[in-house]
Each structure stands twice: as structure tokens, then as C-alpha cells.
Amino acid sequence: MEYCKRFRVEPGSRIRLKDFDPAFKDVHETKKSARREIEKLRHRLKEMQFQLYAEQKQSLLICLQAPDAGGKDGVVRHVIGSMNPQGCRVVSFKQPSSVELAHDFLWRIDQQTPRRGEVVVFNRSHYEDVLIVRVHNLVPKKVWSKRFDQINDFERRLATNGTHVLKFFLHISKEEQLRRFKRRLDDPARRWKISEADYTEREYWIAYEAAYEDALNKCSAAAAPWFVIPSDHKWFRNLAVSQIIVETMERLNIKVPDPTVNISDIREKYHEEVEDNKDAK
């Protein structure tokens, strides 16, 4: 199954998150049965990213959004981690600084977009400015409601200039989130990730769902699509995200550039003696 089609939010559609099963795992029953396919995708991702870096004509922006414990860091480790850091960068957006607040909400985002040949991953993104600010009434509705159009214009500009945008909402159930919090509490190496806010934010689950649905419905475009990824099973989340990135990159018609030197001349000038010595042995 092409996950680009299966999980994509079609432009102009009206989706409801309750219609998506966060525990969906397609044909694979277990992580073990999916392992070979996941490794194959990781290898292909590494290969395609190398070609993108060599071409230096296009770029890729990947946006990750999810509830707390939804798996953003996991995708970075297990999917993006297969790429070469020389051509890949991860950016996490925290609470805006005083300098950032003195500009429009997209100012700090624009500075982190990828250059040609680069893959950039936003761990949280500009969508926080139509999510958390809405749920917690940090800005008036008349302010945040206008940001959907501004985001669409921003992503359209990126696409026009050769940056391909993929946006993933990692969809987990409220029950799975609580289980993951419990595992963090039980693991001394991961307790540092727990805060009281993780639990108090659960009170706003329905409000966040409504905010996410608005963002998904209003900001999924042909050039910058949203994907709703079932994420209760971490291994399936990684498989689906990997496949969508691979499917997308394979459609970019990436071409490794021709050499800038005469290969025959270089081989004759620098390698002929080595080959002669090799034959003599």
C-alpha cells in the first residue's frame, strides 16, 4: 500500500481524528515481521538523501507534530537517524524568546528552513502558533485564526523555491499516551522527560484534537501535505513515515551531477601507475 495516499489529508477535505485508528498496523502484526521492510527503507532513505545533497538543487522540510509522548523524538532517532548529519539538521522550537516575540510568529521559523541539498526536520513547528496558543488562549482568536492563511502562503513560497514540505501528525490514543508516561516513570534513564505539565495537559485533549483538526484541514496542500500517522505502535509509525519520505523523494527526479573534471584524464594521470603495480603483483 502506498502510504502517501493512505494517510494523506487531501486538500479541501474535512477529516475527523476519531475516524483514524491510532493502533492501525496494516499487514504486519509485529515489529519482527516489519523489520526487514523498515531496514530496507532506512537504506533507501540514506541513499536518497545522499543524492539530494549531491544535487544541491532541491531541499526537504519535514514537520513533526504530536501530543506529548507521541513519538517525535522516536522518529528523529529511528527514521531521520539513518541520514548523514552532514546534509540533515533537526530543529526544536521551544517557547519563543523575547527577541522572537518581537517579530511575527514565522520569523524564527523562516531562519531555520533548509538550504538547497539539505533535509531539515522541525521537531514541533510553526503550527504551535495555531495549537497551544489557541488551546490556552495565549493570543486572541482574531489573531491565531488569521495564521492559517499566513502558514499556507509561507509553505507555498518554500515549495515555489524548491523546498518540498512534508508534515506528519503522529496520532496516538489517550490511553497509549498514559502508558508511555508510565514507562518513563519506571525507567530511571528516561524520568528526566517527565513533567507535571505532561499530565495536566491531558485535561485539554479534546481542545487539542479540535485545534489539530483545524490545522490539518486548513493547511494540507498539494505542495505541503499533512499525513495522519497511526502511532500507537512505534515500529509502524517509523515504517509509515519512512515509506512516505522515500515515496516523496523518489518522485523528485533527483539527479546526481556530472563530474566537473575529465574522468579519463584523472584516471590516466593519477591511477595508471597504481594499476600497473597491481598487475605486476
Per-residue pLDDT at 120: 98
Kindly tell me the burial class for residue 198, based on how many C-beta atoms sit within 10 Å of its own C-beta (0-12, 13-18, 19 or more): middle
Domain limits of the chain? 3-280
Residue 104 has pLDDT above 90, yes or no: yes
Q: What is the pLDDT of residues 129-188, one digit of tens each?
A: 999 999 999 999 999 999 999 999 999 999 999 999 999 999 999 999 999 999 999 999
Backbone angles phi, psi at 226, to 5 degrees: -95, 145
Helix, strand, or coil (residue 108): helix
- Work out the angle at residue 25's Cα, subtended by the Cα atoms of residues 193 and 164, and round it to the nearest 5 degrees: 70
Q: What is the pLDDT of residues 154-168, one digit of tens each?
A: 999 999 999 999 999
- Give the pLDDT band (50/70/90) at residue 270: confident
- Give the pLDDT band (50/70/90) at residue 259: confident
Closest CA to 121 of 85, 160, 150: 85
CATH 3.40.50.300 fits 3-280, yes or no: yes
In this structure, the number of other CB atoms found within 10 A of the CB of residue 200 comes to 9
E strand map for the chain: 8-9, 59-65, 88-92, 119-123, 163-171, 226-230
